[in-house]
Amino acid sequence: MVLFELTLVLLLIAVALTGLSRRLEIPYPSLLALAGVGIAFVPGAPTIEIDPELALALFIAPVLLDAAYDTSLRDLKRYRLSLALLALGAVVFTTAVVAVVGWKMAGLPIAAAIALGAIVAPPDAVAASAVLGQFKVPHRITAILQGESLLNDATALLIYRIAVTAALGPILLSSAVPTILLSTIGSLAAGYVLGRLSLLTLTRIEDAASSTVVQFAGTFGVWILADRLGLSAIITIVVYAMTIARTAPRLMSARRRVSTYSVWESAVFVLNVLAFVLMGLQARSILGRLSGEGQGEAFVFAATVLVVVVVARLVWVTSYVAIIRWFARFDGEDKRRDLPTFGGAMLVGWCGMRGLVTLVVAIALPADFPGRDPIVLAAFAVVLGTLVLQGMTLKPLLRWLNFDPDTTVDREVAQARVVIMEAALKVLSGKTSNAAAAVREQYTAQRAIAENPENAQAATEYDRLRLYAINSQRDALEELRRNGTIGDEAYHRLEEEIDWSELAASPAGRFQPLTT
Structural domains of the chain in order of their starting residue, each with its CATH number: 1-405 (1.20.1530.20), 409-505 (1.20.1440)
Q: What are the tens digits of pLDDT across the range 376-397?
A: 889 989 998 998 888 888 888 8
At residue 459, the pLDDT reads 57
* Average pLDDT of span 174-202: 82
Do 162 and 230 touch, CB atoms closer than 8 A? no
At residue 503, the pLDDT reads 74
What percent of the chain is predicted at pLDDT more than 90?
18
Q: What are the tens digits of pLDDT across the range 255-280?
A: 777 788 888 888 888 888 888 777 77
Structure letter (DSSP) for residue 328? G
At residue 190, the pLDDT reads 94
Q: What is the mean pLDDT of the chain?
A: 81
Residue 173 pLDDT greater than 60, yes or no: no
Q: What are the tens digits of pLDDT across the range 75-93?
A: 888 888 888 899 899 999 9
At residue 222, the pLDDT reads 94
Structure letter (DSSP) for residue 42? S
Residue 430 pLDDT greater than 90, yes or no: no
* Average pLDDT of span 430-444: 80
Please list, in sequence order, all residues whose beta carbon lies within 8 angstroms of the beta carbon of residue 367, skipping any fewer than 6 positions away: 49
Q: What are the tens digits of pLDDT across the range 313-330?
A: 999 999 988 888 887 766
Residue 511 pLDDT greater than 80, yes or no: no
* Average pLDDT of span 178-203: 86
Comparison of pLDDT for 174 and 231, the residue scoring more: 231
pTM: 0.80
At residue 313, the pLDDT reads 94
At residue 171, the pLDDT reads 60
> Of 304-308, 384-388, 406-410, where does mean pLDDT reach its minimum?
406-410
Residues 411, 113: Cα–Cα separation, whole Å: 47
At residue 46, the pLDDT reads 67
Please list, in sequence order, all residues whose beta carbon lies within 8 angstroms of the beta carbon of residue 248, skipping any fewer than 6 positions away: 199, 202
SS (H, E, C) 74-104: HHHHHCHHHHHHHHHHHHHHHHHHHHHHHHH
Comparison of pLDDT for 169 and 164, the residue scoring more: 164
Do 306 and 105 touch, CB atoms closer than 8 A? no
At residue 335, the pLDDT reads 56
> Which of the four pLDDT bands, split at 50, 70 and 90, describes residue 516?
very low
Residues 305, 500: Cα–Cα separation, whole Å: 50
Comparison of pLDDT for 159 and 439, the residue scoring more: 159
SS3 148: helix
Residues 33, 279: Cα–Cα separation, whole Å: 9
Do 179 and 158 touch, CB atoms closer than 8 A? no
SS3 352: coil
Do 397 and 347 touch, CB atoms closer than 8 A? yes
Identify the burial level of 343 via C-beta atoms within 10 angstroms of its C-beta, where 0-12 means exposed, 13-18 middle and 19 or more buried.
Answer: middle
> Which of the four pLDDT bands, split at 50, 70 and 90, describes residue 515?
very low
Alpha-carbon distances, residue 406 vs 44, 126, 144, 244 (angstroms)? 50, 20, 15, 29
Comparison of pLDDT for 373 and 178, the residue scoring more: 373
> Which of the four pLDDT bands, split at 50, 70 and 90, describes residue 497?
confident
Residue 172 pLDDT greater than 60, yes or no: no
* Average pLDDT of span 33-43: 77
Do 150 and 237 touch, CB atoms closer than 8 A? no
* Average pLDDT of span 206-217: 87
Residue 244 pLDDT greater than 70, yes or no: yes
What percent of the chain is predicted at pLDDT more than 70?
87
Identity of the highest mean pLDDT range in 251-255, 304-308, 412-416, 449-453 = 304-308
> Of 162-176, 291-305, 364-378, where does mean pLDDT reach its minimum?
162-176
At residue 458, the pLDDT reads 56
> Which of the four pLDDT bands, split at 50, 70 and 90, describes residue 508?
very low
Q: What are the tens digits of pLDDT across the range 463-474?
A: 677 777 888 888
Residues 46, 286: Cα–Cα separation, whole Å: 13
Strands (E), 143-286: none
At residue 292, the pLDDT reads 60
